[in-house]
């Protein structure tokens, strides 16, 4: 299938009904640390959509920006650039009353139910707090049966905006009027009285609620406790009297209190025992069906993600590397980072002896990310310059490792060289460049055309010019992966995309390159 056709299908898939649409979103943390002038680029330009009622998983190594992204979507962090459209409106521009009103629609459940609940408040108070802040319920009123007449609402009711959900529906029939309260609100219809003054062109409707809001709120909190599998009598207890799973249920009840459309679940089960995890996941699933919720599900545990997410976004160093249908992505990852991440999961079938891709080192600092592809410093199938395509994999690995050590030495103080090498998985105690070279290339038979350039770079280091050595290595061995940001290429008919230069027609796709790499490795064992 041609790229054009795939791109067209991608656009069609995108036109489905999105609740959340993120365009070019960046969230940087300014200041702090030694390099205070350089911001931490926690989220560095991401684009994706979440459809109504969908669960989008967000995975990636620690520190890749998942939590920051989730918090930016619910405005707990301010976006540095880009937009977050929520039902078409850019929430990054909201302020004042508009922001406060919108906050009801987007909530977050935190990872750690230990620390996310205030231990000095009762469970009832914790769940009720957002209701108090928003003076819930509003007693919004819609009047039906008024025909062409102008309706004015007063008393305890406020007229509903446009076609929003009304708490109370007043139905006018002849001279009488009847109020019916929305199911979710624990307020019997008979506790609401309505008087109508029909003056021809105008109808004045006065709504009187005979129960104090606070009582309605309390009854609602009790209802919520049951919704999340707790009991009414838990209202007056304190969080420390509950188990981890129960505390997470409290956090979920609090998040649901204002009837949001969208919930960010930030590792909601990571801190829980495995037996409890399944129960909480089932609860979240049931709640999604019952309330039509849309989720962003942040997780480390890929098997959990596979189980519950419709689509998955794989993040690395502030970027979305691959995004698409969960089953497709797990079955047949297209991006080298996804491939590497998934290869780390043990296979459920012990008879399957799958080859694993072990990633070298740790991700670069988000203060100083690579200028090209964010994964370029660790990618096992990075594009090589034409003249080095046939160089032995072990030698190439040595070149990349040497480049990484030189970069790491730039970042860390020389006296911290040990730490740099430890980060790269090297157990050596030396700091001399000749020893490093020896360690990196080991017993490999390094061809002359490579040796020559490595020697030159080593010479620059000996002369104390490490910047020159880095530049020399980059000029000689660097490729498009080091120099240019990739595009998001469509990689399947369902609209999956992958952020990798290898999908350009000029290069070989990642998959066969991985196959060759792994086959060579097993041969050399
Ligand atoms: N308030 C902050 N100030 C400065 N830097 C921050 C702040 N919060 C996070 N960071 C940095 O931003 C980057 C992304 O962090 P974030 O917590 O979003 O990643 P994550 O993928 O959620 O990690 P984890 O899986 O460990 O929770 C990290 O380098 C982190 O150190």
Looking at the predicted structure, is the pLDDT value of residue 52 above 60?
Answer: yes
Looking at the predicted structure, is the pLDDT value of residue 37 above 90?
Answer: no
Q: Give tens-digit pLDDT for 360-369.
A: 778 899 998 9
Q: Ligand 1 centre and the CA of 68: distance in Å?
A: 6
Q: Ligand 1 centre and the CA of 265: distance in Å?
A: 16
Q: Which of 125, 129, 123, 131 is nearest to 230 (CA)?
A: 123
Tell me the mean pLDDT in the region 45-59.
97
Query: Do 404 and 474 contact (CB within 8 A), yes or no?
Result: no
Our answer on whether the CB atom of 40 is closer than 6 Å to any ligand 1 atom is yes
ipTM of this predicted structure: 0.98
Q: Give tens-digit pLDDT for 308-324.
A: 999 999 999 999 999 99
Instruction: Specify the pLDDT at position 516.
Output: 87
Instruction: Specify the pLDDT at position 437.
Output: 85
* Cα 430 versus chain centre, distance: 40
For a pLDDT cut of 90, what percent of the chain falls above it? 68
Q: Ligand 1 centre and the CA of 125: distance in Å?
A: 30
Looking at the predicted structure, is the pLDDT value of residue 374 above 90?
Answer: yes
Our answer on whether the CB atom of 369 is closer than 6 Å to any ligand 1 atom is no
Our answer on whether the CB atom of 478 is closer than 6 Å to any ligand 1 atom is no
Our answer on whether the CB atom of 372 is closer than 6 Å to any ligand 1 atom is no
Instruction: Specify the pLDDT at position 14.
Output: 55
By most ligand atoms within 8 Å of CB, the mutation choice from 38, 61, 65 for ligand 1 is 65
Looking at the predicted structure, is the pLDDT value of residue 9 above 70?
Answer: no
Query: Do 42 and 27 contact (CB within 8 A), yes or no?
Result: yes
DSSP of 507-521, one letter per residue?
S--HHHHHHHHHHHH
By most ligand atoms within 8 Å of CB, the mutation choice from 37, 68, 321 for ligand 1 is 68
Q: In whole numbers, what is the pLDDT of the chain averaged over residues?
A: 89
Identify the residue with better confidence: 12 or 293: 293
Query: Which of ligand 1's atoms lies nearest the C-alpha of 33?
Result: 4
Identify the residue with better confidence: 181 or 443: 181
Tell me the mean pLDDT in the region 375-403.
92
Tell me the mean pLDDT in the region 16-34.
86
Query: Do 130 and 258 contact (CB within 8 A), yes or no?
Result: yes
Instruction: Specify the pLDDT at position 454.
Output: 92
Query: Do 168 and 181 contact (CB within 8 A), yes or no?
Result: yes
For the chain, how big is the Rg over CA atoms in Å?
29
Helix residue ranges per DSSP H, 15-138: 66-73, 96-103, 123-133
Our answer on whether the CB atom of 334 is closer than 6 Å to any ligand 1 atom is no
Instruction: Specify the pLDDT at position 430.
Output: 40
Tell me the mean pLDDT in the region 274-292.
94
For residue 482, the 8-state DSSP code is H
pLDDT confidence tier of residue 429, bands split at 50, 70 and 90: very low
pLDDT confidence tier of residue 419, bands split at 50, 70 and 90: low
Our answer on whether the CB atom of 68 is closer than 6 Å to any ligand 1 atom is yes
Beta strands in 389-504 (DSSP E): 488-490, 497-499
Instruction: Specify the pLDDT at position 33.
Output: 57
pLDDT confidence tier of residue 405, bands split at 50, 70 and 90: confident
Our answer on whether the CB atom of 318 is closer than 6 Å to any ligand 1 atom is no
Q: Which two tokens stand for residue 186?
A: 């624990």
Q: Give the whole-angstrom CA distance, residue 463 versus residue 469.
A: 10
Q: Ligand 1 centre and the CA of 63: distance in Å?
A: 5
Our answer on whether the CB atom of 27 is closer than 6 Å to any ligand 1 atom is no
Atom 24, ligand 1: residue with shortest CA distance: 62
Q: Is residue 49 helix, strand or coil?
A: strand
Our answer on whether the CB atom of 363 is closer than 6 Å to any ligand 1 atom is no
Q: Ligand 1 centre and the CA of 472: distance in Å?
A: 33
Tell me the mean pLDDT in the region 207-224.
96
Our answer on whether the CB atom of 366 is closer than 6 Å to any ligand 1 atom is yes
Q: What count of residues does the chain have?
A: 525
Atom 11, ligand 1: residue with shortest CA distance: 42
pLDDT confidence tier of residue 162, bands split at 50, 70 and 90: low
Q: Ligand 1 centre and the CA of 389: distance in Å?
A: 37
Tell me the mean pLDDT in the region 136-159.
91
Query: Which of ligand 1's atoms lies nearest the C-alpha of 367?
Result: 29
Looking at the predicted structure, is the pLDDT value of residue 207 above 60?
Answer: yes
Tell me the mean pLDDT in the region 254-282.
94
Tell me the mean pLDDT in the region 349-358.
64
DSSP of 351-407, one letter per residue?
T--PPPPPPPS-PPPTTS--SS-TTTTT-TTPPPPGGGTTS-HHHHHHHHHHHHHHH
Instruction: Specify the pLDDT at position 116.
Output: 80
Least confident range from 75-89, 238-252, 334-348: namely: 334-348
Q: Ligand 1 centre and the CA of 448: distance in Å?
A: 44
Least confident range from 1-15, 255-269, 372-386, 427-441: namely: 1-15
Our answer on whether the CB atom of 271 is closer than 6 Å to any ligand 1 atom is no
Q: Give tens-digit pLDDT for 444-498.
A: 888 999 999 999 999 999 888 889 999 999 999 999 999 999 999 999 999 999 9
Burial 246-272 (b: 16+ CB within 10 A, else e): bbbbbbbbbbbbbebbbbbbbbbbebb
Atom 23, ligand 1: residue with shortest CA distance: 63
Q: Ligand 1 centre and the CA of 484: distance in Å?
A: 25
Looking at the predicted structure, is the pLDDT value of residue 414 above 90?
Answer: no
Instruction: Specify the pLDDT at position 1.
Output: 47
């Amino acid at each position: 299938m041609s790229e054009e056709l795939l791109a067209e299908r991608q656009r069609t898939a995108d036109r489905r009904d999105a609740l959340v649409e993120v365009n070019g979103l960046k969230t940087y943390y300014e200041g702090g640390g030694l390099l205070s002038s350089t911001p931490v680029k926690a989220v560095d330009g991401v684009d994706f959509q979440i459809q109504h009622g969908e669960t989008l998983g967000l995975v990636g190594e620690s520190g890749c920006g998942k939590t920051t992204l989730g918090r930016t979507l619910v405005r707990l962090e301010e976006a540095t650039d880009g937009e977050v459209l929520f039902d078409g409106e850019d929430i990054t521009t909201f302020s004042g009353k508009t922001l406060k009103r919108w906050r009801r629609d987007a909530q977050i459940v935190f990872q750690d139910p230990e620390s996310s609940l205030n231990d000095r408040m009762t469970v009832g108070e914790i769940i009720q707090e957002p209701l108090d802040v928003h003076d819930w319920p509003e007693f919004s009123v819609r009047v039906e049966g008024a025909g062409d007449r102008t309706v004015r609402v007063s008393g305890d009711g406020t007229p509903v905006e446009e076609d929003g959900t009304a708490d109370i529906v007043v139905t006018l029939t002849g001279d009488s009027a009847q109020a019916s309260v929305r199911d979710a609100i624990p307020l019997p219809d008979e506790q609401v009285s309505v008087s109508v003054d029909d003056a021809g062109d105008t109808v004045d409707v006065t709504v009187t609620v005979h129960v104090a809001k606070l009582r309605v709120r309390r009854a609602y909190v009790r209802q919520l406790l049951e919704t999340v599998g707790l009991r009414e009598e838990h209202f007056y207890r304190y969080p420390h009297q509950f188990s981890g799973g129960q505390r997470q249920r409290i956090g979920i009840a609090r998040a649901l209190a204002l009837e949001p459309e969208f919930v960010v679940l930030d590792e909601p089960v990571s801190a829980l025992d495995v037996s409890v995890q399944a129960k909480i996941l089932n609860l979240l699933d049931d709640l999604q069906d019952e309330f039509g919720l849309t989720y962003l599900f942040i997780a480390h545990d890929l098997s959990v993600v596979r189980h519950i997410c419709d689509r998955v976004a794989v993040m690395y160093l502030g970027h979305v590397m691959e995004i698409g249908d969960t089953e497709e992505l797990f079955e047949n990852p297209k991006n080298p980072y996804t491939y590497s991440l998934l290869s780390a999961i043990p296979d459920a079938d012990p008879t399957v002896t799958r080859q694993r891709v072990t990633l070298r080192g740790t991700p670069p600092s988000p203060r100083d990310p690579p200028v090209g592809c964010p994964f370029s410093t660790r990618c096992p199938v990075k594009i090589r310059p034409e003249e080095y395509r046939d160089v032995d994999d072990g030698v190439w690995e040595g070149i990349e490792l040497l480049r990484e050590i030189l970069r790491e030495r730039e970042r860390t103080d020389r006296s911290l060289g040990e730490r740099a090498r430890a980060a790269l998985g090297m157990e050596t105690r030396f700091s001399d460049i000749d020893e490093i070279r020896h360690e990196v290339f080991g017993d490999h038979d390094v061809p002359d055309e490579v040796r020559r350039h490595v020697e030159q770079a080593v010479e620059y280091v000996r002369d104390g010019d490490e910047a020159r050595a880095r530049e020399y290595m980059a000029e000689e061995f660097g490729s498009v992966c080091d120099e240019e940001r990739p595009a998001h290429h469509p990689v399947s008919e369902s609209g999956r995309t992958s952020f990798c230069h290898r999908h350009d027609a000029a290069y070989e796709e990642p998959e066969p390159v991985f196959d060759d790499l792994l086959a060579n490795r097993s041969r050399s064992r």
